[in-house]
Structure 1
């Protein structure tokens, strides 16, 4: 027991506790549920409702802070950084800047050929004299079989491509948000945390975590103490099944 206590004390002296608060730079409003990740160890936490976080780190750990709509921040844990900020870091995130496709608006003159009310042929100087004559007094069907696509068809095609691209961007943004939320949930509710709280056997930990069946928002909004209480309550119910 003496050797175990000595080992734990030595480990605590070797580690640091990184704590701080994330706010928006322009308004100084707290940023909730941002991901604070230790890149080299693939572990991290999510900020609480006040934008605060706290977890153990080691020297030379690479820290990356991300939140949807903000520019990411990265830095390395050094002794001087921890010693000069004993009360914690106050980190201001800037809003992200995203480039959108440019839109060009063009006005046509009244005599421009697209505005002609009648469908009349345009002699470009290379009309085949042997080609069959077309009755331009009748509506013409413009299809791919005639060697091209009409202007209206082209505009409809471009409009569909724009809408498809817009839907794709929305889908990618939703997937990125879901990924970030999943990482934040796993950073708070994982096997290491559950084992620390319950001392549960490795043989049944997967079954127990599935038994907990917490909602993601329930995990993200709970503090570490509240989450530990929830886990203990579930563990008591798990043992009484």
Structure 2
């Protein structure tokens, strides 16, 4: 009888540990903290698994997660938040309410024109020529992005690795685990769509666990133009970092 009890306790423990390790489908609702109204089309990203979800018209979402996974919730005009998944949420799987705070300095949506054209043909032609930087093709994509010097595209990344102690080398070396998430971005449609509509680098910073300043430093070292760094979508920024990271790995071997 004694051994049976011990066996039963061990079985319960193993089952509990297994349940904690396997991802479960969690439910949640995103609302405005002050009005309590649901926020639809908010992006919910699991930063650990790089999987995402979008809230419906009632602010509801479902996403797979494990204990201690970090969820990143964002929506235009609201402060992005991170939530560490607690064990109670995994255990009960209740509908978890997430409250977002509206930015006090939220701006109305504006459209930034690529070339800031004047409408005067002669002037606009010159502006376009000045802004037409050379394009650098990225792995797995059917289009390219701007780079500073078209005559040096083949060796653009090499210059960034001349000094093993420079910012690029150190950033990649210390953040290798996070940067491996770059390959997972394309695997989830919700994550891709979310990044494709954002320009604030907030989600890029959260996914890769690097500061926004480090993002700019990496791209500068990889010879991307200031125009690209300032105006590209978050998805384009992720693709650019991925390309540079893959070159770094190749050259560091």
Verify same fold: TM over 0.5. no
Report the TM-score when normalising by structure 1. Answer: 0.36
Q: Which has the larger radius of gyration?
A: 1
